[in-house]
Amino acid sequence: MKYWLALKFLAKYCVLGIPTSVSLDQLSEALSCTKRNAQFVIKRLVAENIITWQAGVGRGHYPSVTLLKDVHRMLEEQAYLWLDSNKVSQALALVEEQQKSQLLSQYMARYQTEDHQRDILQVPFYRGTHDLDAIGITRRTEQHIASYLYATLLKWDEKSGQLVGDLAHSWTIQGDTLTITLRKGLRFHDGSAILAGDVVAHFQRLLASEGANAQLYRFIDGFDALDDYTLRIQSAKMASLLAKLISKDPMGISKLTEEKVLGSGPFELVEQTKWCTRLAVFPHYHGHRPWIDGVDIWNVGDHAKQFELHSDIYNLQYQHLTNQSSASLQQQWEKGAEYLLINANRRAWLAVLANRNTLVEALLALGLPPQIIDQEVAGAASMAGQPGCVPSADFERAKALIDMLPKLDEPLVILTYQLYQHVDLAKYYAQMLTKLGLPCRYRVEEFPQFERTEIQQQADIIISGEVLSDDIELSLLSWLMGSRALDSCLLPEQKRRLHLAVFKALEADSESQRIAQLQGCEGLLQQDFVYAPLFHVKQHLHFSSRVSVTELLANGWIDFCDVVIKRDTR
């Protein structure tokens, strides 16, 4: 790779046949290697008559390099060779920014030929997918994809609103103990058998992880294999939720090998690059086979209009990526909310309730930026509440509240992640707070860096969001007890009060009572002014006429196992 990066460097800085001064430091920096290794590359280029290299004589005189061949063509040919071998990242590293769209278009087109033998669902997306190991996933898109890669012991059936067996053939609950009998003939994606010991190993790997997903599962007191097909799971504090806990995404059963994480679900991961995530049906899945043969999720990013891509389901901004003249639209209000957190641990004055109150009220008085208001959003009073009116901005009130806050030695820091609405809001808050006399800057992190505690602890304000599933009880519990951002912002006494309130809620007899009390826990956070819900989002998904229209799931996606691609019978 260093050889090809050297050619790219020469193509950028040298003109054919004209000597150019180049320092060894410049070249080694471009190749990300030592000077000695850079010298080895130079010797190879000289031996192949691509360059001449004249060492500098005397202090301050750089070496002189003369380009003897047109390396642009060499780079282009090598890039296409790597593209043909699915080495997309290496190929893109050889070309300049303006050439990347052309390369990506060719890469996409390779999988979009007129091959009607396989039915592949084509989906454009605004970014590449992150790590798809179920134990560490916190973003909804990755959670959705992973739900097809990994089977759980039990699963939530959207149609019946009940838990049903997945890997489990049957189960019983007695007191604080859940006993599960596995199906026979279960297989991981490499064909190896799934036995009770593999499920225990997955659970132990989940507990050993440093991710937020592990928090709820630490309340499980026992997780044992009684034989190859029988599991016994115990929890004193969460006995009423044991069955639900093992149906959650982090308990999508996997097996870690030296090469990769093996799944157990209806689809297997066959490719994951920065540009494409490809799923294919697993032929030995124990349940019903999906109708489609696979799913391709393309990262078209901010350059979607430069690509030609047939799309089967898409958001409004990707409407041009389908050749269908008509499309069906499904839309719904998203369960959950976008919200802000105030880090009570960040500065001494933020540990004072009155100051947090003033800061939260000032932020709410700023309203929302126009680019968010112009979208279909609604005011939020709580996570699971009904969409309401978006409050109007009151800049005079915001200014009066800001004047009541202590003077800062350094600017406030707003932290968020790469979701366009969150970035727009963080930028708006930073600009308006600064304009009104409270210096502020914003910081945008990618996942999983955004989830790192040490990064969140450096922020005064965190902008995030939560999408609730149809199981409101477990969704609220997961957020209250498993949100790393929330945990980073709470003072020790606030954490203690929250945990006591949550466990008290779990003692309620009925699910409706538990949900009501968990919503009360959310209210406690609002009263402490460490948390404020901001707005609800309306989800939109377009379906091309080529696919069957299905109901949206709570996360805004569709069920890959239900969708059908229609045959052209003309």
Q: Which of 146-150, 348-352, 565-569 has the lowest mean pLDDT?
A: 565-569
The whole-angstrom separation of Cα 163 and Cα 423 is 37
3-state secondary structure 438-486: CCEEEEEECCCHHHCHHHHCCCCEEEEEEECCCCHHHHHHHHHHHCHHH
Comparing CA positions, the residue from 243, 242, 150, 237 lying closest to residue 202 is 150
538 vs 48: CA distance, rounded Å: 60
Cis bond leading into 448, ω under 30°? Answer: yes
Q: How many CB atoms lie within 10 A of CB 408?
A: 14
Closest C-alpha to 346, from 527, 523, 484, 530: 530
Assess whether 52 and 176 both reside in one domain: no
Q: Which residue has the higher pLDDT, 127 or 372?
A: 372
Q: Averaging pLDDT over each range in 61-65, 276-280, 549-553, which range is the top one?
A: 276-280
Mean pLDDT of 375-385: 94
What CATH number corresponds to the domain at position 436? 3.10.105.10
To the nearest 5 percent, what fractions of the chain are helix, strand and coil? 40, 20, 40
Checking if the pLDDT of 299 tops 60, the result is yes
Mean pLDDT across 45-55: 88
Predicted confidence at residue 37, as pLDDT, reads 87
**Is pLDDT above 80 for 359?**
yes
- Least confident span in 121-130, 223-232, 287-296, 358-367: 121-130
Of 30, 49, 69, the position where a domain reaches its end is 69
For residue range 168-210, list pLDDT tens digits in order: 999 999 999 999 999 999 999 999 999 999 999 999 999 998 7
Per-residue pLDDT tens over the stretch 18-38: 888 888 888 888 888 888 888
* Same-domain check for residues 527 and 436: yes
* Residues 250, 293 share a domain: no
Give the DSSP letter of residue 163. E
pLDDT score at 305: 46
Give the closest residue to 459 by CA, choosing from 422, 501, 497, 499: 422
Q: How confident is residue 8, by pLDDT bands cut at 50, 70 and 90?
A: confident
Confidence of residue 513 (pLDDT cuts 50, 70, 90): very high
Q: Are 379 and 523 within one domain?
A: yes
User: Is residue 104 domain-shared with residue 247, that is, in the same domain?
Assistant: no
Q: Structural domain of residue 233, as residue ranges?
A: 151-258
CATH number for the domain spanning 12: value is 1.10.10.10
One domain for residues 122 and 49: no
Domain identity same for 243 and 378: no
91 and 50 co-located in one domain: no
Shared domain check, 378 and 348? yes
CA 59 to chain CA centroid, nearest Å: 52
Rg (CA), the chain: 27
- For the segment 82-95, the average pLDDT, to the nearest whole number, is 78
Chain mean pLDDT for the chain:
88
Cα–Cα distance measured from residue 51 to residue 71, given in angstroms and rounded to the nearest whole number: 10
Q: In what order do the strands lie in the sheet with 267-272?
A: 120-125, 294-299, 276-281, 267-272
Give the Cα separation of 355 and 73 in Å (integer): 63
Q: How many structural domains are present in the chain?
A: 4
Record the tokens describing residue 162, joined without a space.
């009940």
252-266 residue pLDDT tens? 999 999 878 999 999
Residue 146 included in any domain: no
Specify the pLDDT at position 517. 97
**Looking at the structure, do residues 115 and 181 belong to the same domain, yes or no?**
no
Q: Are residues 112 and 16 in the same domain?
A: no
Burial 487-502 (b: 16+ CB within 10 A, else e): bbbbeeebeebbeebb
What is the model's pTM?
0.80
